[in-house]
Structure 1
Amino acid sequence: MQLANYLFFTTQCEEALSFYTACGLGQVSVLLRHGDLDIPVEDAAMAGKVMHARFEGPGILFFASDNHDAEPMRGSSHILLMKDRSKTLNLFDRLAKGGRVTTPLAMQPWGSYYGKLTDKFGVQWMLDCIV
Structure 2
Amino acid sequence: MQLSNYLFFTTDCDQALAFYAQCGLGHVVEILRYGVDGMPVRNEAMRGKVMHAKFQGPALHFYASDNDDAEPMRGSAHLLAMDDRDSTRELFHALSAGGTITTPLGIQPWGDYYGKLTDRFGVQWMLNCAE
Q: Which residue of 2 aligns with 1:125?
A: 125
Instruction: Give the structure-1-normalised TM-score.
Output: 0.98
Q: Contact 2:33 / 2:52 at 8 angstroms: preserved in 1?
A: yes
Q: Which runs of 5+ in 1 are unaligned?
A: none
Q: Which residue of 2 aligns with 1:84?
A: 84
Within 5 A, what are the aligned runs for 1:68-107?
68-107=68-107
Q: 2:36, 2:64 → 1: CA distance? A: 16
Q: 2:55, 2:37 → 1: CA distance? A: 20
Q: Which residue of 2 aligns with 1:5?
A: 5
Aligned residues with identical type, % of pairs: 63
Q: 1:33, 1:93 → 2: CA distance? A: 31
Residue 6 of structure 1 deviates from its aligned partner by 0.1
Q: 1:83, 1:68 → 2: CA distance? A: 37
Residue 39 of structure 1 deviates from its aligned partner by 2.7
Within 5 A, what are the aligned runs for 1:33-72?
33-72=33-72
Residue 50 of structure 1 deviates from its aligned partner by 0.3
Residue 49 of structure 1 deviates from its aligned partner by 0.2
SS of 1:36's equivalent in the other structure is coil
Cα RMSD, aligned residues only: 0.6
Q: Where does structure 1 differ by over 3 angstroms across 4 or more consecutive aligned residues?
A: none
SS of 2:48's equivalent in the other structure is coil
Q: 1:84, 1:22 → 2: CA distance? A: 20
Residue 38 of structure 1 deviates from its aligned partner by 1.5
Q: Which runs of 5+ in 2 are unaligned?
A: none
